[in-house]
Amino acid sequence: MILEVKKLQTGYGKLQVLRGVDLCVGKESVGLFGPNGAGKTTLINAIMGIVKPWSGAIEFEGKSIAGQATHLVARSGIALVPQERELFPGLSVADNLELGAVYVPRGKAIKAQQLEIVLELFPILKERIKQYVGTLSGGQQRMVAIARALMANPALLILDEPSLGLQPSIVAEVFDRLSILKKDIAILVTEQNVRESLKAIDRGYVMENGAIVIEDTAKGLATNPHVLSAYLGI
Partner 1 sequence: MANKRNAAIFAALIVAAVAGILVWRPTVIIYGLQAAGLYASIAIPMGLILGIVHIVNLAHGEFMMVAAYLTYMVCTALGIDPFVAMIPVALVTALVGFIVYKLTIRQALKAPELNQLILTFGLAISLTQLANLLFTSQTRKMSFGYVSASLSIGELSFGVYNFVFVAIAVLMVIGLRLFLTRTTAGKAALAVGQNPKGAAIVGIDVDKTYGLVFALATGMVGMMGAIFITRSSIFPAVGSPFTMKSFCLIAMAGIGNIPGILGASVLLGISENFLKAFRETRGWADIVFFVLIITVILGRSIKGKKA
Ligand X SMILES: Nc1ncnc2c1ncn2[C@@H]1O[C@H](COP(=O)(O)OP(=O)(O)OP(=O)(O)O)[C@@H](O)[C@H]1O
Residues in contact with Mg ion by CB under 5 A are 40-41, 83
36: partner contacted, choices ligand X, partner 1, Mg ion, none (Cβ within 5-8 A by kind): ligand X
Q: Which is nearer to Mg ion, 41 or 140 (CB)?
A: 41
Q: How far is residue 78's CA from residue 216's CA, in Å, rounded to a whole number?
A: 24
* Amino acid (1-letter code) at residue 189: V
Report the nearest approach of Mg ion to the CB of residue 41 (Å).
3
Answer yes or no whether residue 20 interacts with ligand X by CB under 6 A: no
Q: How far is residue 9's CA from residue 19's CA, in Å, rounded to a whole number?
A: 5
Answer yes or no whether residue 40 interacts with ligand X by CB under 6 A: yes
Q: How far is residue 4's CA from residue 24's CA, in Å, rounded to a whole number?
A: 4
Q: How far is residue 158's CA from residue 162's CA, in Å, rounded to a whole number?
A: 10
CB-based contacts of 177, cutoff 8 Å, min separation 6:
121
Answer yes or no whether residue 39 interacts with ligand X by CB under 6 A: yes
Q: How far is residue 213's CA from residue 205's CA, in Å, rounded to a whole number?
A: 8
Q: Which is nearer to ligand X, 84 or 120 (CB)?
A: 84
**Contact residues: partner 1, CB under 8 A:** 48, 50, 69-71, 74-75, 79-80, 82, 85-91, 95, 98-100, 102-104, 148, 152
**Contact residues: ligand X, CB under 6 A:** 12, 15, 17, 34, 36-42, 83
